[in-house]
Structure formats: structure tokens, C-alpha cells
Structure 1
Amino acid sequence: MLLCLEHAWEVDQPNRVTDFPPKLLKEWKQSQLDDFDGLGHQGWALTPDMVDEALRSSSTTMNFNNSTVSLGGAGGNAPGAGGGGGGAIGQNARGGIGGPGGGVRYEGIPFPEKRDPETSESNSRQCVHDLVKSAFPADYRLPSDLAPGAGGGGGGAVGPDAVGGNGGGGGEQVLAMIDLSEFHSDGPVYMEVPVGKGGVSNTFPWEHGRDGENSSIKVIAADGRILRTITAAGGTGARANFEFPEGSREVSVDDIKNGLTVPVLITAEFVQEKNGLLYVLGGNWSIWAAPQLPVAVQSALTCVVSFGQAIPNCILMFFIVVEDPSGQEVIRMPFAATNEYMRPVANVMRGFELQFHADVAGVWNVRVLSGRFELARLPLEVRMLEAKA
């Protein structure tokens, strides 16, 4: 059955399948044809070429044989460049956003002015950029063939409403001009150049890439005093991404007033839901002991959303968020819960596979968020195993 593109898009929405049964569509089409006949067959006859074009537009089949398809975004190709957004395949899918490039900053003694020969105007900013270009040309590569300080690519995504991850941000470039005579009164000095590690890409679904570390130059006196530090900030990690399905929303103030809560958030070795009941094996662990770091933390996780008297027939979106001991978000995993009809008790269970990399020991937090509300929090400790004597 042929429909115009606008109506076809409306009918094909996943959450409207029951709203447009074939019988109703046939009745609409027959009514349209009757109107067409009543007007004396005004319009245009469909040619074979028009039919072929309509079929190609409505459904496209792609076959890949003996090929590798990479949906991940490409890393930045110039010093301090942002990474590319990840690709996505699926109905209503879209690619991620590219990461921002790193800034260029100058510090130190006043830079010698460079005057435009035609206007005689000072253009010291241009001097800085000229130095950057001479130090790191756009095609400069490390021995690993990577651009220094460039952001990583966003992760790929597959499925309905899938969204590719956002690309990572590029690191900062800093130029400094220092007069070493300012340190003469401090005696002999030396320099340390700690180079930060690059950001780590995500491994698990919904996991963010980690931020790149700062790099610096430290001028140090013989007695250990740090006389001056020049720091270039690392770039932001690539981010997992998500787009709300049509018709969904986050929790509102009215939902909270009507009794919506998340009364259960529990870890376990194994969870099974059967006939509305929850079967848990090895539940409520709180310590993950690791022989070394980083370590992959993997666990079953169950969440119960109690709707109270919240509005029925609405799709509410929630996020499982994992934060490291410093409060940095490392995972943002979306899930939906629906109260299909008004009832005295509406408790909806959701099960997940919780997976993330822990690179530091300490207390990590698993949170359930929606809108501006934290609905549940579960602290978990990542602990190093003590070495046996």
C-alpha cells in the first residue's frame, strides 16, 4: 500500500503499531480512491519508474559479504583536533556529534609584537598561531601514526532510535616564553615534564571514554620547591549518546507528588524474572575485590519502579548512572518504564547487565536518575586484594 512520505513516517512509528491496523489503512485508501474517481481521475498515473523510486525510498536493503563494517568514529587527524562522532544503524538512528577541538593558549612574558606591514596594527595573536604551526604542523604524527592530543572517536550504535557516541575533545596546546633569569636567585634549577596518559576508549555498552590526563612542565629548585608549572589540559573523553523515543519523557514534579519511587536497586550474581516474581542468586554484594587495577566490574542489576498514582499510558525514561570516587560519570544507561493503565499497585521490574571499568579503588556509586531527580543510589566498593606474605 503506497502512502505519501509524511503519512508513511507517522504510520511506521514503533509505538503506533496498534493505532493503524491494516483494515483501517485499507478503508482510508479506498476512500481516497473513491474521491479520486469522483473528481474524474484527476492527478497523475503511476509509471513503472515512479513505482520503483517509491519502493527504493520506502525500504533499502544492504548486503555486506566478507566485509568489516566499522561504526566507530575516527579519531582527530590533527594536533588537538576533536574526534569524529560514531555511526548508527537502525530505524530512526542518527550519528553522534564530533568532539570539540582543544584550545591554544599562550603564557609567559609578553610576546614580541608583530605588526601588519600594511596597517601597522599589532598582531601578536598571529605570532602565537605561527609558533603553533611551526611546532606542530597539521600533518604532524607521533611514531604511533596518531596526532598528538587528538580526541578519540565516538562509539557506534545499532538498533531502533540508536544514536552514535559523541567524539572526544582535543587536548589543549600551550606555548610559553619564560625568562630563566627570574630563577637565578633560587640557584640551580631543573625541569620535570610529566606527560599525561591519553583517554581510554569505551569497551562496554553505554560506557563513556575516559578523559585525557593533563601534561605539564615544572621548573624545580634544587631543594625540591616547584617554582613554576605550565599545564596543558587533556581533552574530554568520547561520550555515549542517546535519543528519547517519541512520546517518552523524564520524571516530573507531579510524578513524584503522585508517589513515583524506585524502592529497589540491587546487585546480584544472577537474576531471573518469571511470572512476575524475581529470583535472585548472590544478591546485594557491596565489595568487588580485584587483584589489580583497572578491573572490569560485571554484575546483574535489578531496579523496581513503583508508579504510585502517576499518570497511566506514559513512557517514562530513566538512566542508570555509574560514578567513580571523584564523582566523574563513567556510564549512562537508559531504560524505559510504562504504567499501561491506572491500577492500585504498579511496580515495574527492570533487569540489566552492569558493566564498567574501575581504574581506582574506593567507593563507586550506582544511581537511578530521571529529570532533575535522583531516585535511588547504591554505593559499591572496589577494593584491592591484599598481597599474601
Structure 2
Amino acid sequence: MGEFVIKMPDVGEGVAEAELVEWHVKPGDPVREDMVLAAVMTDKATVEIPSPVDGTVLWLGAEVGDTVAVKAPLLRIQIAGESGQVTGDDEAAAEPAPKAEAVEPTRAEPVQQQPAQVRQNRAPPAEPAAAEPKHAERPVPREPAERPLASPAVRLRAQEAGIDLRQVTGTGPAGRIGHDDLDQFLARGVQPAAVPAGLARKTATEEIKVTGMRRRIAEKMRLSASRIPHITYVEEVDVTDLEDLRTTMNNGRKPDQAKLTILPFLMRAMVRTLAEQPDVNATFDDDAGIVTRYGAVHIGIATQTPAGLIVPVVRHAEARSIWDSATELTRLAEAARNGTAAREELSGSTITITSLGALGGIVTTPIINHPEVAIVGVNKIATRPVWDGTQFIPRKIMNLSSSFDHRIVDGWNAAIFVQRIKTLLETPALIFIEG
């Protein structure tokens, strides 16, 4: 029998390592050609690794959550024959694989930890067979509101053991309950007081390793929060007229046109505003100290998916109409949620929009998508009374919560940016006027 060594493949230009996010096999499992063995992730793209041969899994070279270098051994498969091959490494493709016994790492058996002892807990003393019980067979009944006498240590021990001290007979002065009384109570096998259904103590814990997309998100947020001094600017926007226009346009849309949400209008307003304030449509390389302004407006759309938060990118929003923007938004959101978005569709944004839809709340504090310098947050629309000078009238109000990199965008410029978007959204006809 021979061995076939599968190495971490080159999953993309310039990528030196990838994170193992899923195993589909374990040692001893039979595999067949083209069967998916594992999944790895890099740059928010997940790649499945198939088996090129039939055989049996001998050894796995990494655990879920590990980062594996390109061309590092990933797993070994026993195959018929005497020589093996190495996939993912052209230079070693013709070399026979070393025997698994010589390279398989020795894994220590996990040490099972003993549960921590309850503080000041004592083992119940064994009672002599002929000894008379020190306590009565049944605890002395107490009033429901009565507070038995006991030291703090005894109360803590009883609390941790789930014992109602009103059930315990105290032998100390004035019926004071001591540790010996608790020991006797437990030795008699008396059950702790019943706890009402739904109010039982829960002491279980669960450790969940942060891997895959969730780890990518955590790293991205840590990088952004630690390196970018955020300034967040919040403004109310009256979108009553915009909502009327949106409803009218949706009622007259063609069958092949995507339904309009408020986001395509916001995107067009941002395009108009960014042409006037190019400093906001930029990225900042703080290591090199270089700000890069972009003529193109590539808008990232923060999208919640089963795998976590993903930011697909609507490229060249400056060249898209309202309807085209809506179509592309719908397509990218669906691709992100079902995991079919291409790598180039998940990178390269120059500014980002984040929206929680109907759950958007009143105010949010968006985290900038590093290395961008701005993010626009959309809050929910609510009907509120607005004073028009003579009376209160119902208007549809939406807050914009926008964050900026204060190293690049001053507070004054951030306010101008948001106020310009507010003007366009409150007078939506301006969005369609060129020049």
C-alpha cells in the first residue's frame, strides 16, 4: 500500500496561508475521487478541497481554526500501490510520500480536568451503624419568611449546593445552622428544596472556538477599532417625499426590474456628494502615511448572512442608474447569502453603507470598514410629529449615523457630507438632476 499526501493548495495569488474551517473526513474514513475532504477560507472566500484519489484517510495535519501555510501537508490517504504523490506542489508531485509512521505527530490524550470543589464543602461523615441520629428525621418547619441563623460561609455553601436553609435543623445556639448541620442534612439524603419550573439554576458552560467567517469579522473589527479614531455624526432626515416617490416608482416598475428600497437612492445621493468631497471616497494606508482618493465609487453593502457579516461591493456606482443599482444590490446580496459571491465581489470598496433595515434602531455607531475613511449607517424609518410652523404633522423620519476617520476627515467636513446627503434625500428630484 502507498500513501498520497495532499498539501494546502494555492488558493489565490499572493495568499501564503489559509484557515481550515471544516473537515468532512476523519482518520479511518474511506474516500473516493472528487469527494470533498475539507474547506479552507481566505479573504472571505471559502474553497473546498476534493480528493484526487480513492483510499482511506490516515492522518489529518490540522484542526478546525488552524492557519495552514500553502504547500504544508494537510492530510494523508492510504492508496493501492507502493508510491504516492503530493498535490498542490508541482515540484514534489513525482516524489513518493514518506510513510505516515515517520511523520505523523504524536497527539497527547486530552487531560480531563476535575471539577472545582465547592468552597468550604466537606465530605459527609460516615455515621456508625449503632449511633443514634443527631438530628430529627424531618427538618423543623419554619415560616416562609423566616431567615435561619447561619454564618456567611454556611449560607454560601448552601446556596452553591442548592439547599434551602429553612429545611435544615440547626443545632447551634438559638437554632444556628453550622457546617455539621449541612453535613447531616446531606447524609440523610434529603432532597434540596424544589425550585419552580423555569427558575432552576443553570451551571453549564460552553466554549466555542471562533473560526472561519466569525474570526475574520473579529479581526477586521479589532483592526478598525484599534487603528481608526472614529467620529460619528448623526442627523435626522425627512424621507416622506422620498418614500412617496419610491412607492410610485415601484408601482410602475417593469417585471424585470428589482424592487426599489431606500438604498439605491442613498447610493445615488452619495455619488453626487462624493464628487464634491473626494476626501471621503478614499482609503488610508496609515503604515505608509498615504491617502488614496478614488474617482470610481465602489460602495460596500454590509450584508448579514448565515456565515456572518459580509460586505459585497457595488462597483462603479457612479455609472449606475437607480434601477441598475437596485438590480446589482439584489444580485450581490443573494450571492453573499448563498455563498456564491466571487472574491472580486467582496473586496475593493471605497466607502460602505450599513443598514439593519426595520431593526435599525434610532442611532448606531458604525465601525469603519478598514482601510476606508467613512461609513454611512441607515437607521429605521419612523413616523413622527413634526412642527411645520403652525401645527404638528406626521412625517417619515430616518436617522443617518455616519462614522469617519478623524485623521483624514474633520468634523466640519463630515457634517457637510451628511448635510448634503440629507438635502438630496429630502428633495429627491435633485438626485435625478445632472450637473
Provide TM-score, normalisation by structure 2. 0.25
User: Which is helix-richer, 1 or 2?
Assistant: 2
Provide TM-score, normalisation by structure 1. 0.27
User: Which is strand-richer, 1 or 2?
Assistant: 1
Structure with larger Rg = 2
